[in-house]
Structure 1
Amino acid sequence: MRKFKPQPGFVVQAYRYALDPNARQEAALGSHCGAARAAYNWAVGWVEASWWQRRAEETYGTPEKELTAWRPWSLPTLRKRFNEAKHTDPRFAAWWEENSKEAYNTGLANASAAFDNYAKSKNGKRRGKRVGPPRFKSKRKARLACRFTTGTIRVDVDGRHITLPRLGRIRTHEPTCDLLTHVQAGTARILSATVRHERGRWFASFQVEVKRDLERVARPDVAVGIDLGVKTLAVLADSTGEIRTVPNPRHYEAALKLLRRASRTVSRRQGPDRRTGGKPSRRWEKANATRNKIHHRVANLRTDALHKLTTSVAAEYGTIVVEDLHVAGMLRNRRLARRIADAGFGEISRQLDYKTRRRHATRVIVADRWYPSSKTCSGCGAVKAKLPLHMRTYTCDACGLVIDRDDNAALNLAALAANAVTGTGVAGDQDTAPAALKPRGADRKTRTTRTASAGRAGGATLPHQRQTETRDRPHTEALTLW
C-alpha cells in the first residue's frame, strides 16, 4: 500500500459494514463491549463517591475547607486511577487482561464526556434540554459498543475481512472494496473503528480521512421545496412548477399484523422476572428473537427508503428548502405519533444536511417553524387565519385558487429560494418587487395579510428564512438571519 499523503480536500467520513463473526469472535466482541460498560460504571462510581462523601460531611457540620476534595473526571485522570485500581479491584482483577485496553478507554472516555455535559448544562453553557448527572449503565439495557483508536486497524486486501486489535481477523457480511480502493490508492487513512451491536447483528464503522472531490448536481439552478407529511411522505415542488409526490411506504403499519401475532406469542411464554431474578425460558427467548427480527426488518426498510429519497434530492437540486418541524412536539399527539415516528421526519432533515455537503454549489434553506406554508396561497399570497388539518384541499378566498394542501405548501417553500432576492415567500410573487416591511411580530399568530408586502428593502432575508449559503465551502452551518 502507498503511504498516505495529506492533501487539501480531505474530509472525515464513516464507512460502515455488517460483520459475520464466528462464535469465538462474537463472544470476544461482547466481552469488549462489556468491559467498556464496566469501566464506565467504575468511573461514574469513583467520581460520585466524593460527591456523596462531601454531602455526608456537610450534615455533620464539617467546615468547607475540611471537606473531601472533589475528584476530577478528566480522561487522563480517570485512566491513571483505573490503571491503579484494575489490579486490586475484585471487579476487574480476574479478567481485565482478556480485553484490549481500548475497551476500557472507551468507557472512561464516555464517562468523562458525560460529566462534561452535565457540568456545562448545569452552568448554562450547553444548549438543549437540561442534562442530569451520569447514571450507571444496566447490563440488560446498555448498548454494546467499543471504539478502537490504536493498534492494528485495517481492511484486508481480500476485501472481505477486517482486522481489529485483540479481536483479530473478522469476516464482513458485505465487501469492503470501496474503502479498500481508497486506502490502496493512498487517498484515505483510517482514524478509528467502532464495533456496535444493533438490529440483531454486529457492525464495524471506520472513521476515515478520505479525499473527496465535490460532485455537481444535475440541476444546480433549480430550487425545490419539500413538504413532509403522513398521508404522503413528501411533496417536492421545484421552481419550474413541477410537482412530484413521494408516497409514504408505512413500513411499520405493514408489519403491524405480524408484530401483534409475535407479541401475543411472547406474552404466553415465561419471560424474565426482575423482581425474583427469574430467567426466561428458551421458548420465550426464541419467540422474542422472532419478534425482534420483524422490528429490525422494519427499521432497515425505513432506513433504505429514506436514504434513497434524500440521495436523489441532494443529487438533483442546487437549492433545497425544508421545514423546521418540531418533531418532539408532534409525537405528543397520541393519534398521529405512530405514523409520524414511522415517517422519520427528523432523519430526512439530518440526511439532507450532510449529503448536501458533498455537492458543489448547493445550499439548504430551513424555513422557520412558524412560517405558514400551508395557510398561504401560492397564487396571490393571501393567508388564511385557520386551516384545520382535516382540510386537504386549499381554497383561496381572494383569488379562488383550488389546490391540494401539500402541493400548495411545497410551492410556497420553493418560493422561499426562488424569491430570495425580493425577500417574499409566496410562489405567485416571483416577479413582484418588494414593498414596505410588515414583520409578523413575535406573537406567532398567523395574520390574514399578503406576504408579498413583507419584502425587505435591499433583499434581506425574512424572519421565516434560515439559510445556509455556499461560499468557499459547498455547505456551511445553518445560520439564522434574524
Structure 2
Amino acid sequence: MIVHQAYRFALDPTPAQARALSTHCGAARFAFNWGLALVKAVMDQREAEKSYGIAPADLTPPLRWSLPALRKVWNQVKDDVAPWWAECSKESYSSGLDSLARALNNWTTSRDGKRKGRAVRFPRFRSKRRARRSCRFTTGGVRVEADRRHINLPKLGRIRTHESTRKLARRLEAGTARVLSATVRLEGGRWHCSFTCEVQRADPPPAQPDVVIGVDLGITHLAVLSRPLSGVTNAVGAVPNPKHFARASAALRRKSRAVSRKHGPDSRTGARPSKRWERADQRRNRIHHRVANLRRDGLHKLTTALAAGFGTIVIENLNVAGMLSNRRLARSIADAGFAEIRRQLAYKTRWRGSRLVVADRWFPSSRTCSDCGAAKAKLPLHIRVFRCDSCGLEIDRDLNAARNLAALAVSSTTGTGGTGDLEPPCSNGRGADRKTRALCGQAAVKRPDRSADLPVGCPAGASRIRSCR
C-alpha cells in the first residue's frame, strides 16, 4: 500500500543557520502578505468600479487565486517589491503564496457552503511577531544525508539533526520511500523539519483479524474496551487517563504569573514586549509543547495497539465540537483528544487492513443493556453504574457501552461506517440527518424542534452533547 506519511526530526542548527531559517520563514510571510494585499486591492477596485456603474466587461480583470497564477505575478514584480529576494530560496516565496492560495480557497468553499465545519474567515495579514515561523521546500536539494545525522535543504545546506534519521534513511535506501517536500517550523524554541514522503507500507495484518472490539471514550478513563488488552488496559478493559494538562497546570500557573509580571506587548499602543517577557513566554510555551508531545505519544501507542490487535474496531461518532461548549468538561475533553484518537485509527486501520466502524451519533450505547438488549428511557451522566430493570444486570456504564458498540458491528442494525471511514455516510457529514429507531417496543414521537424521531422519554430539544444517552 502506497501512502503519504510524514517523518519529523528536531534540528540542531548553528546560530547562523538558525538566522537563515528565520529569514526564509520571514520571506514566506512577506510573500503571503504581498499576495493578500494584491488580492484585496483588486477586489476593492472592482467593487468601487461596480458602484460607479461601469459595465462588467470594462471592470478591472479579476486576479486568479491559484498558486501558479500568484507565482507568475510574483516573478514579474519581485525585483521591484523585494530587491533582496535572491538571498532566500525561491521555495520560501512559493511556500507563502501556496499558503495564501489555500486560505483563499478555504474561504471561498466555506462561503459557498461546500466546506464542512465552522465558517472560515477571509485571510488576514500575518504579523512578524505572532505568526508561526514555517517554510516548505518542494524542489531542489531536499534530502537526508547518508550519515543519518544531517539533512540538506536548498540555500541552507547541511543542517545537523538532534536525533537520528535512520527510520527514514532506511526506507530511502531500500527504495520504499520518496521525499515529496520538507517543512521547517519553529516550535517550543526548537527548529523541526518534517519530511512528507510517499511510502510503500507492508504492515502485518492484525493479530486477531476475526475479533471485534468496542471502544468507548471518556474522561475518567481515556477509553474502555469491550475486552481487556494486555499491556494497554487493566483487568476490566479500562485505559487510564494520564491527564497531562491537569498534571502540568501547577507549573503553568507559576510560569503564567511570571509572564504577567513582565512588560508584555500592547496591541492598543503598539508597545513591544521586553526581552524578559519573551524569555518567560518561551518557558511557558515549552510546558505546553511538552504536554502536547506526551499526549500525542500516548494516543499513538493506544491506537497502534488497537489497529495491530483487532480486525474490527467500533467507535462512536462523538460531537466533540459540541462537547467543548460545556464549560465544566471542555478542558478535560480537550486534554483527552477524542478527535485525534479517531483520526489516528482511521489511517492506521487502513494500513493494517483492519476495519473501522463508526456508530451513529444517536445510537444509545450507554442506555442499552449489553446482556438482554433492553433500553432505558434516560440515563443521567452522573449515574456511572448501569442497572437493567429487565434482567438485573449491574455493570459499569462505560464497559456496558463498549460491549454494545462491539455487538453493533456484528448485528449492523444502526448506522455504521466502512473500512477506515472518517465520516459516516450521510448527506451532511455529521450524522444528524438520521432517525433514531425506537427500542424495545417504545413508540417514536415526533418532536416539533427536531426532524428525527426520538424514543419516548428523551427530553425535547435534547442536546447533542449528551446524545440522549
For this structure pair, what is the TM-score category when the shorter chain's length is used for normalisation? Answer: 0.7 to 0.9
**Equivalent residue number for residue 19 of structure 1:** 11
Rounded Cα–Cα distance in structure 2 between residues aligned with 1:226 and 1:156: 42
Q: 1:239, CA displacement in angstroms? A: 10
How do 1:45-444 residues align onto structure 2 when only pairs under 5 Å count? 45-89=37-81, 92-93=82-83, 95-238=84-227, 243-360=236-353, 362-420=354-412, 423=413
Mind listing any 5+ residue stretches in structure 2 that lack a counterpart?
A: 230-234, 416-431, 445-452, 454-469
Q: 1:210, CA displacement in angstroms? A: 2.4
Q: Is the 8 A contact 1:372 1:446 kept in 2?
A: no
Q: Is the 8 A contact 2:363 2:414 kept in 1?
A: no
Q: Is the 8 A contact 2:206 2:307 kept in 1?
A: yes
Q: Residue type matched to 1:231 in 2?
A: T
**Equivalent residue number for residue 449 of structure 1:** 440
- Indicate yes or no: 2:35 matched with 1:43: yes
Q: Residue type matched to 1:197 in 2?
A: L
Of residues 295-304 and 155-164 in structure 1, the stretch that sits farther from structure 2 once superposed is: 295-304
Q: Is the 8 A contact 1:384 1:446 kept in 2?
A: no
Q: Is the 8 A contact 1:99 1:166 kept in 2?
A: yes
Rounded Cα–Cα distance in structure 1 between residues aligned with 2:386 and 2:330: 25
Rounded Cα–Cα distance in structure 2 between residues aligned with 1:417 and 1:448: 18
**How many correspondences in the alignment?**
424
Rounded Cα–Cα distance in structure 1 between residues aligned with 2:53 and 2:309: 69
The alpha-carbon distance between structure 1 residues 265 and 120, as it changes in their structure 2 partners (threshold 3 A), is closer
Q: 1:393, CA displacement in angstroms? A: 0.6
Give secondary structure in 2 for the equivalent of 1:86.
Answer: helix
Q: 1:50, CA displacement in angstroms? A: 1.4
Q: Is the 8 A contact 1:382 1:450 kept in 2?
A: no
Rounded Cα–Cα distance in structure 2 between residues aligned with 1:297 and 1:11: 28
Q: Percent identity?
A: 57
Q: 1:76, CA displacement in angstroms? A: 1.9
Q: Is the 8 A contact 1:159 1:176 kept in 2?
A: yes
Q: Is the 8 A contact 2:360 2:414 kept in 1?
A: no
Q: Is the 8 A contact 2:300 2:344 kept in 1?
A: yes
CA deviation vs aligned residue, 1:396-449 (integer Å, no higher than 9, x gap) = 1111111110010000011112334xx479xxxxxxxxxxxxxxx978568452
Q: Is the 8 A contact 1:223 1:238 kept in 2?
A: no
Q: Is the 8 A contact 2:149 2:165 kept in 1?
A: yes
The alpha-carbon distance between structure 1 residues 21 and 351, as it changes in their structure 2 partners (threshold 3 A), is same
Mind listing any 5+ residue stretches in structure 1 that lack a counterpart?
A: 1-8, 426-440, 455-462, 464-482
Rounded Cα–Cα distance in structure 1 between residues aligned with 2:164 and 2:433: 54
Q: Is the 8 A contact 1:367 1:413 kept in 2?
A: yes
Of residues 12-21 and 58-67 in structure 1, the stretch that sits farther from structure 2 once superposed is: 58-67
Give secondary structure in 1 for the equivalent of 2:251.
Answer: helix
Rounded Cα–Cα distance in structure 2 between residues aligned with 1:288 and 1:446: 52
Of residues 276-285 and 158-167 in structure 1, the stretch that sits farther from structure 2 once superposed is: 276-285
Q: 1:355, CA displacement in angstroms? A: 1.1
Q: 1:39, CA displacement in angstroms? A: 0.7
Rounded Cα–Cα distance in structure 2 between residues aligned with 1:245 and 1:364: 20
Q: Is the 8 A contact 1:161 1:171 kept in 2?
A: yes
Q: CA RMSD in A?
A: 2.4
Q: Is the 8 A contact 1:200 1:296 kept in 2?
A: no
The alpha-carbon distance between structure 1 residues 138 and 211, as it changes in their structure 2 partners (threshold 3 A), is same
